[in-house]
Structure 1
Amino acid sequence: MSDETTTEETADISDLGSRQRETAERLQQLSLRLMSALSRRKAPNPGIEAPGPDLYAKTATAWWEQMMQNPARAVGHTMGFWEGSIRAWTGAMIPGPDDADAKPDKRFTAEEWDSNPWLNYLKRQYKVTSGAMRAAVEDLDTLPDKEKRRLRYFSDQIANLMAPNNFLGSNPEALRRAMETDGESLIQGLENLVTDLEANDGELLVKLVDDSAFSVGENIATAPGQVVLRTKMMELIQYTPAPEQVHAVPIVIFPPWINKFYILDLKPQNSLIRWLVDQGYTVFVASWINPGPEMADAGLEDYIEHGFLEGIEAVKKITKQKKVNAVGYCIAGTTLSLTLSLLKQRGDTSVNSATLFTALTDFSDQGEFTPFLQDDFIDGIEVEVNRSGLLPARVMSRTMSFLRSNDLVYGPAIRSYMLGETPPAFDLLYWNGDSTNLPGRMTMQYLRGLCQRNEFAKGTFELMGHTLSVRDVDVPLMAVVAQTDHIAAWKDCYRGVQAMGSGAKTFVVSESGHIAGIVNPPSKKKYGHYINDDLRGDAEAWLAEASFHEGSWWPRWDAWLTERSGEMVPARKPRQSDLGPAPGSYVKVKAT
């Protein structure tokens, strides 16, 4: 062996040893950081971590009732499971997709799920088992509907968690990446895991987006304007007009305070705010405060008094108009409806028309939120708000994420922790993660009075010395809902609009979901919408008779607003003040 070869081998061994030492040091540091982060985790609140014992008892009772009343069905479930398991085992010996793959599952797209017999078997058996779980739940005929929804949700969570791609040893893509990178992907994944734990005081919330790519007021929420009012609950922004002439009656938009207002101004191409300005409207938008523990006692009355009412009065004063066209989105649409009931009873006609985006006012059917609106979960939230004064932003974020756990929890976790990937720079996901705390008092008023007891729809909601009712909402009204919305189901929104006292209602169902159905600029030519002026029947009858129209509903809304916005007047430019330019300061406060 030559001296040169010996020298090269020695160098290779030295380089390998050096890399091993560096890796060992990194792992040691990451382990220390991991233990430190986990030590900061607060004691878990069992009320918001898992279902209450009543669900287990009711499920067991329903199961035994079924066994006694129809034992053949229970035996059939068992036999079906074992038959499916045998087919999974025998079918896995033959490379190729299984029969259940008629509907592709993006969790199993790697070719090894079909070509590797062991992975093929795991995939097939998982589908058999998860399918058997769902069938068992659906066949519990004596279980009340709400309890079945709860059981369906939690059993789906177990099934989603136990998918074989969620485990390193049975994720072919993660194993392949680890081999290709000499384990660097796993170390980077551990780094990502530790960083996420550190960012949330030991609570595991998967980071969905590269936060460093965005800055509010610089590359998102950039529509020009001025803060013209600041209250303890919100900043009111007036936007700079585009044309020289504008409609006389101004628009004031109240976005939801669960997230921040700039979903309506992510970027110029899809900004609803900029689009309204360009159509010749004087546009005002409320930017809600991100509350701290000192605001624990802030209730819905504070949002109404120091948000909606003060905002409306300020807009009237600035524009020298007696009325405004008001817009409410999601929870702010619900609260705008409360405000309209209050104004009706006070004899105040400040609101010329109302537009509601995906707003619930009748909570008799709680849809996908059923598991979170029963006493066990609400009691757990009450414990949390009594302890901290707030419903922390991370609780709401986690709740929303688990409604789509494969897309918003497990998928991102695999990419970040197993593949070692950096989260993408995506403005919508950045906004989604920039959520807010909720004051304890408001949270419980909303959950107990509106969601659980449905008092507004029943006409029994007590607030600010009045008994508020959805039937008091009698101004000209346009309600826009989203066909696949999993937060405010369109059929539930429809039921609330039906009950409103307005004699001039326009109901629009946009294609897509809670966000994309609303933020749907005409230039994208993406989602269409349904229209039907007859609201006498139920939601299914309404949709069956509705006419479908290609393209965004925004131009239809513009035409509707134009009829209710008066003559054209010289554009009103916001006055400079020491409150600062848009997007203001409240929007930049992060939840802690």
Structure 2
Amino acid sequence: MPWTVPDIEPPATIDRLLHATTGRVTGGLSPVSLALAYADWALHLAESPGKWQRLAEKAVRKTARFNIYAAHVLSNAETEPCIEPLPQDRRFRNEAWRRWPFNLIYQGFLLHQQWWHNVTTGLGGVSPHHEQVVSFVARQLLDMVSPVNFIATNPEVLDATAREGGRNLLRGAMNFIEDLERSVGDKPPLGTEDFQPGKQVALTRGQVVYRNRLVELIQYSAATPEVHAEPVLIVPAWIMKYYILDLSPHNSLVKYLVERGHTVFMISWHNPTEHDRDLDMEDYLRLGVLEALNAVQAIVPGKKINTVGYCIGGTLLSMAAAYMAQVGDERLNTITLLAAQTDFTEAGELMLFIDDSQLNYLEDIMWKQGYLDNRQMAGAFQLLRSHDLVWSLVVRQYLLGGRQTLTDLMAWNADATRMPYRMHSEYLHRLFLRNDLFAGRYKINGRTISLGDISAPMFAVATETDHVAPWKSVYKINLIADPDVTFLLTNGGHNAGIVSQPGHTGRHYRVAHRPSGTNYIDPETWFLSNPQIEGSWWPTWVDWLERHASGQSAPPTMGAPHKGYAPLMAAPGSYVLER
């Protein structure tokens, strides 16, 4: 029976149509959710005269600091700033911002930004979620009026304009027109044509050996005379195309595994359309992970399987592992989770967009479309890092007249996918909002599953600056009871931290092994207890895989035609090309 939100009267069609239409204007954000957050904050602020007094005192102190700084700057241009940007704020690093009057402009902006943070936080009685939403909206509004974004207040733009006689602004206007045309025409960003799967990326040789309505299964060709006996099955996220793990030859995790003597299989997900609106989480489990395991077992019989799940693919893999433990299926040799959450109580800044009002609104948008559009998801991710993903690009491309040179990772990031209505609704409600999986309430095929039933050794990778799956959230895999867990924390973000090939400069990680039955260590203590190791984490992980291998054998055949798994076409297959 399809999952539905309990105890809620089905909405009228007219309500859903209204919300879906409004969502086109709001970018999928619920006005009611924002209004509730603002009302919670504003009403508590209105009855907090002590807070008003402290804010007034802060305003007076900041004004005095600024005036003293301004007076000193007039006599000494080398005066130390009265406020420093946050470490992640790179907008004012250019030396041009140290010149008068731009030093006064950016210092005044930072002081205002700090004061508004005080206004929107630390107010008793406001729910933590509403406080985060109000503070987030305030940051977005301040980012919009940052002096960096305007010609007259940005010394870098003024210098470029004087130096080039305004040609930078002309180029910027042409860039804007070209980008607008591509956006209206639903075309990918400029430069993505240089990174097409099967031509410039996703080049590791292999064959599609199985296909159903939801997945293609790719088996990669062996690159060594002998291979490790246990094959590797990778379950990528379906919010992204699989080839992030098979980008260019120099940074392909698949190629690295194959060259280390592993037989690798990869799931490539179908990009859903409105016809797939009723696919649910159990469909993704059954048609995705379980069907792929059946195929791998048929092609490499008699061997357990090393499984790898990335992002939401790792969440699905953990669900599959718990279900398999429940039914006595012992085919898993190891489980590797890459930037994958199993507990969603601290799921990072994405929780800003998750509450009952927002999900009700989002459901109505998906009901109308049959899916969640990739542009709606991309907008949310861009807002989380508007400094880097929105305004810095506006300045670079439209004011300075430059063009961003796309990398393979950036082009892949633009090759987004859609989310089926029923699956995404279930995912957001049951995992993000209710945390059913970690709480032991999630049912698959009528059975309540528990992550504590998993007994296969686990290797969990988290990244230090992950906005999607914060590392302390990923670390909670250590709270489940039985598995032997190796936890590794690498620098970088959700994607760049995973695509961290040997030889990549500036990479480091920390790693520790917790045997089954040992006591839990909190993440802060874990971080301080494990020294930083320079280099890529890939060799450490592959060494761990090989310690759990039972030996080597001749490479398996490509597919198993006599068992119904004949090669269908060359990798990367057809699903990865769907738009």
TM-score, with length taken from structure 1: 0.86
Say whether residues 1:126 and 2:119 are aligned partners: no
Deviation at 1:72, TM superposition (A): 3.5
Say whether residues 1:398 and 2:379 are aligned partners: yes
Write the distance in 2 (CA, Å) between the matches of 1:268 and 1:134.
45
Choose from 435, 449, 462 the match for 1:454. 435
Which has the larger displacement, 520-529 or 367-376? 520-529
Choose from 463, 485, 495 the match for 1:482. 463
Name the CA shift for 1:550/1:469 in 2 (closer, same or farther; >3 Å): same
Q: CA offsets per residue over residues 433-489 of structure 1, 9 Å max, x none? A: 111111111111111110010011111113332222222322221111122222111
Which has the larger displacement, 346-355 or 404-413? 346-355
Deviation at 1:121, TM superposition (A): 2.8
Which has the larger displacement, 219-228 or 571-580? 571-580
Name the CA shift for 1:358/1:427 in 2 (closer, same or farther; >3 Å): same
Write the distance in 1 (CA, Å) between the matches of 2:22 and 2:40.
32
Deviation at 1:541, TM superposition (A): 2.4
Q: CA offsets per residue over residues 284-311 of structure 1, 9 Å max, x none? A: 0111111111111111111111110110
Write the distance in 2 (CA, Å) between the matches of 1:92 and 1:586.
61
Name the CA shift for 1:399/1:510 in 2 (closer, same or farther; >3 Å): same
Name the CA shift for 1:475/1:573 in 2 (closer, same or farther; >3 Å): same
Equivalence for 1:563 = 547
Name the CA shift for 1:377/1:80 in 2 (closer, same or farther; >3 Å): farther
Equivalence for 1:530 = 510
Equivalence for 1:106 = 90
Choose from 486, 491, 497 the match for 2:472. 491
Q: CA offsets per residue over residues 350-384 of structure 1, 9 Å max, x none? A: 22221111111111123222211123432332122
Name the CA shift for 1:80/1:556 in 2 (closer, same or farther; >3 Å): same
Equivalence for 2:118 = 135
Write the distance in 2 (CA, Å) between the matches of 1:209 and 1:457.
42
Which has the larger displacement, 573-582 or 322-331? 573-582
Contact 2:83 2:111 in 1 (8 A): no
Say whether residues 1:61 and 2:36 are aligned partners: no
Equivalence for 1:172 = 155
Name the CA shift for 1:138/1:248 in 2 (closer, same or farther; >3 Å): same
Deviation at 1:110, TM superposition (A): 4.8
Deviation at 1:139, TM superposition (A): 3.0
Write the distance in 2 (CA, Å) between the matches of 1:71 and 1:324.
61
Choose from 176, 189, 192 the match for 1:211. 192
Deviation at 1:318, TM superposition (A): 1.0
Name the CA shift for 1:526/1:184 in 2 (closer, same or farther; >3 Å): closer
Write the distance in 2 (CA, Å) between the matches of 1:463 and 1:253.
21
Name the CA shift for 1:60/1:422 in 2 (closer, same or farther; >3 Å): same
Choose from 421, 424, 442 the match for 2:423. 442
Q: CA offsets per residue over residues 251-299 of structure 1, 9 Å max, x none? A: 0001111111111121122211111111111000111111111111111
Deviation at 1:93, TM superposition (A): 4.2
For these two proteins, the number of residue pairs brought into alignment is 546
Name the CA shift for 1:91/1:441 in 2 (closer, same or farther; >3 Å): farther
1:355 aligned counterpart, secondary structure:
strand
Contact 1:239 1:283 in 2 (8 A): yes
Q: Which amino acid aligns with 2:35?
A: P
Name the CA shift for 1:211/1:479 in 2 (closer, same or farther; >3 Å): same
1:107 aligned counterpart, secondary structure:
coil
Write the distance in 2 (CA, Å) between the matches of 1:97 and 1:230.
66
Structure having the higher Rg:
1
User: Mind listing any 5+ residue stretches in structure 2 that lack a counterpart?
Assistant: 1-20
Equivalence for 1:193 = 176
Contact 1:357 1:518 in 2 (8 A): yes
Write the distance in 2 (CA, Å) between the matches of 1:383 and 1:417.
36
Contact 1:371 1:377 in 2 (8 A): no
Q: Which amino acid aligns with 1:403?
A: L
1:108 aligned counterpart, secondary structure:
coil
Write the distance in 1 (CA, Å) between the matches of 2:62 and 2:486.
50
Write the distance in 1 (CA, Å) between the matches of 2:451 and 2:441.
10
Name the CA shift for 1:256/1:87 in 2 (closer, same or farther; >3 Å): farther
1:81-96 to structure 2, matched below 5 A, reads 81-87=62-68, 90=71, 93=74, 95-96=77-78
Contact 1:110 1:172 in 2 (8 A): no
1:177 aligned counterpart, secondary structure:
helix
Write the distance in 1 (CA, Å) between the matches of 2:132 and 2:322.
32
Name the CA shift for 1:282/1:346 in 2 (closer, same or farther; >3 Å): same
Deviation at 1:56, TM superposition (A): 0.9
Contact 2:28 2:376 in 1 (8 A): no
Equivalence for 2:492 = 512
Equivalence for 1:159 = 142
Say whether residues 1:544 and 2:528 are aligned partners: yes
Contact 2:254 2:264 in 1 (8 A): yes
Q: Which amino acid aligns with 2:541?
A: W
Choose from 302, 312, 323 the match for 2:304. 323
Write the distance in 1 (CA, Å) between the matches of 2:520 and 2:284.
33
Contact 2:218 2:572 in 1 (8 A): yes
Which has the larger displacement, 497-506 or 569-578? 569-578
Equivalence for 1:17 = none
The CA RMSD over aligned residues, in Å, is 2.6
Contact 1:84 1:128 in 2 (8 A): no
Q: CA offsets per residue over residues 6-56 of structure 1, 9 Å max, x none? A: xxxxxxxxxxxxxxxxxxxxxxxxxxxxxxxxxx99841475176521111
Name the CA shift for 1:398/1:42 in 2 (closer, same or farther; >3 Å): closer
Equivalence for 1:339 = 320
Say whether residues 1:76 and 2:60 are aligned partners: no
Contact 1:107 1:165 in 2 (8 A): yes
Deviation at 1:71, TM superposition (A): 5.1
Write the distance in 2 (CA, Å) between the matches of 1:376 and 1:181.
50
Deviation at 1:165, TM superposition (A): 1.3
Name the CA shift for 1:262/1:87 in 2 (closer, same or farther; >3 Å): farther
Contact 2:558 2:567 in 1 (8 A): no
Write the distance in 1 (CA, Å) between the matches of 2:389 and 2:382.
5
1:374-385 to structure 2, matched below 5 A, reads 374-385=355-366
Contact 2:299 2:557 in 1 (8 A): no
Q: CA offsets per residue over residues 54-99 of structure 1, 9 Å max, x none? A: 11111112212432x4554233133234334534654564545651
Choose from 281, 296, 299 the match for 1:300. 281
Equivalence for 1:502 = 482
Query: Identity over the aligned pairs, expressed in percent?
Result: 33
Which has the larger displacement, 352-361 or 555-564? 555-564
TM-score, with length taken from structure 2: 0.88
Write the distance in 2 (CA, Å) between the matches of 1:200 and 1:579.
35
Choose from 557, 561, 569 the match for 1:580. 569
1:106 aligned counterpart, secondary structure:
coil
Write the distance in 2 (CA, Å) between the matches of 1:62 and 1:543.
37
Q: CA offsets per residue over residues 488-530 of structure 1, 9 Å max, x none? A: 11111122x1233433222222233222322222333642322
Write the distance in 2 (CA, Å) between the matches of 1:62 and 1:175.
43
User: Mind listing any 5+ residue stretches in structure 1 that lack a counterpart?
Assistant: 1-39
2:503 aligned counterpart, secondary structure:
helix
Write the distance in 2 (CA, Å) between the matches of 1:147 and 1:43.
23
Say whether residues 1:255 and 2:239 are aligned partners: no
Which has the larger displacement, 350-359 or 75-84? 75-84
Q: Which amino acid aligns with 1:185?
A: N
Q: Which amino acid aligns with 2:241?
A: K
Contact 1:45 1:380 in 2 (8 A): no
Write the distance in 2 (CA, Å) between the matches of 1:87 and 1:62.
34
Which has the larger displacement, 239-248 or 397-406? 397-406
1:522 aligned counterpart, secondary structure:
coil
